[in-house]
């Protein structure tokens, strides 16, 4: 009974990790130097090891420096894209007027 509960919690943690890490594009993982495959391997290993360690690994991921750096990079890339779109919109409306 306890083992099923541990695996249930572990699966929930792995699903949360999958959703959270999928928000970060592969390009950002590559250029930041962090290993997406390494994090995934650790999560799956923890899930296989009685499930409950996956919950601990999810907490480690949530508060890790890697996640903070990756999310900062993602915000920078989004800000650059937003600025480029605004510049294109500004140029296109200036030429029409």
The mean pLDDT value for 76-87 works out to: 89
* The pLDDT value given to residue 94: 60
* The pLDDT value given to residue 91: 67
Task: Give the separation between CA 73 and CA 34, rounded to whole angstroms.
Answer: 12
Residue pair 51/6 in contact by the 8 Å Cβ criterion: yes
pTM: 0.77
What's the pLDDT tens digit per position in 36-58?
A: 999 999 999 999 998 889 999 99
For 52, other C-beta atoms within 10 Å of its C-beta total 19
Q: Which residue has the higher pLDDT, 87 or 24?
A: 24
């Amino acid at each position: 009974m306890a083992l099923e509960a541990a695996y249930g919690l572990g699966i929930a943690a792995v699903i949360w990790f999958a959703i959270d890490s999928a928000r970060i594009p592969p390009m950002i993982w590559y250029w930041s130097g962090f290993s997406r495959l390494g994090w995934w391997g650790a999560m799956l290993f923890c899930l296989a090891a009685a499930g409950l360690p996956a919950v601990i690994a999810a907490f480690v991921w949530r508060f890790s420096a890697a996640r903070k750096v990756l999310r900062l990079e993602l915000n920078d890339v989004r800000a650059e894209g937003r600025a480029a779109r605004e510049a294109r919109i500004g140029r296109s409306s200036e030429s029409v007027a």
